């Protein structure tokens, strides 16, 4: 795992509280399962019909019948449950998911999310992301701050097809943490030893700085 991914995952774990029902999206979010402290009794949900997912399996624990929505093998904690796809989406659409942590391709300054397709690229299907971002009580997006070309993935408006409009509660990148409020996008935390000026240089979207963070930076 790259240092950037490690930082993002370690920060995302802090969003999870004991007793929560949490849906982890395909890709980087699924790695969070291995980093949740043992003393946090968390129920990980997968839209293919699992509640109570544990860490990734060791070789001796591999069971090809136990997979998550990304078709990766998983473990199931004691007391975990299995159900059909319709029941799983009833949980999502019924507002029973406390937190969804998903990956992102682009996020706009008003909380729009694009994470399901790139035009011209092969897409297996939209999956459950569109339902999840509408049904989960809180949606946290984790992604690199810039793409492989060095361009900001936090845009004034998304250019890729949208997964949902104004659905993002919090965005965690390898550089910063943003919240999305009625007043717009707010920088809440600076990560990885960077500073506010550097974040502005790497962020296309307009944002304000949380007053507590601004005071902390000014006191340095």
In the chain, what are the domain boundaries?
3-218
CA distances from 90 to 13, 17, 42, 48, 212 (A): 26, 23, 20, 12, 40
pTM score, whole prediction? 0.94
Q: 6, 15, 17, 47: which one is catalytic?
A: 47
Yes or no: say if 139 and 186 are a contact pair by the CB < 8 Å rule: no
Kindly tell me the burial class for residue 128, based on how many C-beta atoms sit within 10 Å of its own C-beta (0-12, 13-18, 19 or more): buried
Q: What is the pLDDT of residues 137-176, one digit of tens each?
A: 999 999 999 999 999 999 999 999 999 999 999 999 999 9
Range list of H helices, 17-81: none
| CB atoms near residue 91 (< 10 Å) | 18
Straight-line distance from the first to the last Cα atom of the chain, in angstroms, rounded to the nearest whole number? 32
- From CA 132, how far away is CA 93, in angstroms rounded? 7
- ∠86-88-90 over CA atoms, to 5°? 70
| Assigned token pair, 55 | 């860490």
Residue segments in the chain with a per-residue pLDDT below the cut of 70:
1, 125-126, 219-220
Specify the CATH class of 3-218 in words.
Answer: alpha beta
Query: Which three-class secondary structure state does DSSP give residue 146?
Result: strand
Residues 6+ away with beta carbon under 8 Å from 212? none
In this predicted structure, what is the pLDDT of residue 220?
66
What is the distance between the alpha carbons of residues 200 and 218, in angstroms, rounded to a whole number?
16
| Catalytic residue status for 17 | no
């Amino acid at each position: 795992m790259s240092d950037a991914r490690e930082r993002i995952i370690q920060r995302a774990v802090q969003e999870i509280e004991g007793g929560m029902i949490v849906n982890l999206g395909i890709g980087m979010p699924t790695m969070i399962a291995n980093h949740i402290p043992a003393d946090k009794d968390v129920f990980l949900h997968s839209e293919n019909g699992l509640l109570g997912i544990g860490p990734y399996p060791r070789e001796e624990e591999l069971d090809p019948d136990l997979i998550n929505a990304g078709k990766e093998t998983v473990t199931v904690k004691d007391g975990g449950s299995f159900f059909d796809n319709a029941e799983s989406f009833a949980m999502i659409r019924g507002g029973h998911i406390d937190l969804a942590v998903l990956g992102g391709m682009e996020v706009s300054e008003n909380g729009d999310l694009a994470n399901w397709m790139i035009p011209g690229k092969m897409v297996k299907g939209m999956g459950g992301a569109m339902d999840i971002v509408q049904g989960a009580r809180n949606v946290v997006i984790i992604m690199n701050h810039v793409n492989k070309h060095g361009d900001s993935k936090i845009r004034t408006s998304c250019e890729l097809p949208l997964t949902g409009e104004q659905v993002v509660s919090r965005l965690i990148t390898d550089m910063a943490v943003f919240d999305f409020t009625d007043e717009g996008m707010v920088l809440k935390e600076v990560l990885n030893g960077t500073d506010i000026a550097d974040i502005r240089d790497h962020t296309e979207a307009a944002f304000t700085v949380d007053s507590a963070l601004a005071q902390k930076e000014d006191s340095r």
